[in-house]
Chains A and B, each alone.
Chain A
Amino acid sequence: MHTLVCQPADAPALFSAEGLVGVVFLLTVALVVTGALIAVNARRLVRAVSGLAICFTGLAGVYYFLLSPFLAMMQMLIYVGAVSILIAFGIMMATPEEQQATGMHSKATLAGPLAFSVAALIFAALTLLGLKTEWQVFPRQGTFDIKEVGLSLLTTHGLVFELISIVLLLAIIGALVLAQKGRN
Chain B
Amino acid sequence: METSMWHALLYLVGIMAFAGVNAAWLGWCERKGAARIQRRIGPCEAGFAGLLQPLADGLKLLSKQLLVPQGVDGIIFRVAPVLAMIPAITSMAVIPFSENIGARAMELSVLLLFALASIAMIAILLGGWASGNKYALISSARAVSQNLAYEIPMLLTVITVVMISGSMNLRDIAIDQQGGFWHWNIFRLENGHFLTMWISFIIFFICAIAETNRAPFDMAEAESELVAGFMTEYGSMGFGLFMMGEYLNIVVGACLTAVLFLGGWDCPFGLTPGIWWFLLKIYILIFTFIWIRWTYPRTQIYRLLNLSWKILIPFSLANLMVTAALIKVF
Contacts and interface: CB of A to CB of B under 8 A. Distances in A.
B241 interface: no
Contacts of A81: 114-115, 117-119, 121-122, 151
Contact of B111 (A50, A77, A89, A145): A77
Give the dominant DSSP class at B's interface: helix
Counting chain A CB atoms within 10 Å of each CB, the highest count among B76, B111, B114, B137 belongs to: B111
Q: Which of B114, B122, B145 has the most CB of A within 10 A?
A: B122
Nearest to A76: B115
B86 to A, nearest CB: 11
Interface string B106-139: 1110011011111101100110011010100100
B301 to A, nearest CB: 15
Contacts of A70: 108, 111
Which secondary structure dominates where chain A touches chain B?
helix
Contact-residue size bin, chain A (C-beta under 8 Å from the other chain):
20 to 34
B6 to A, nearest CB: 14
B126 A50 contact: yes
Contacts of A47: 73, 75-76
A84 interface: yes
Given A73-B111, A145-B107, A85 B76 contact: no
Interface in B139-153: 140-141, 144-145, 148, 151
A89 B137 CA distance: 10
Interface in A45-60: 46-47, 50, 53, 60
Contacts of A82: 118, 148
Given A77-B118, A81-B115, 5 more contacts: A73-B108, A77-B114, A80-B115, A85-B118, A146-B107
5 contacts: A46-B73, A73-B115, A88-B122, A97-B129, A146-B107
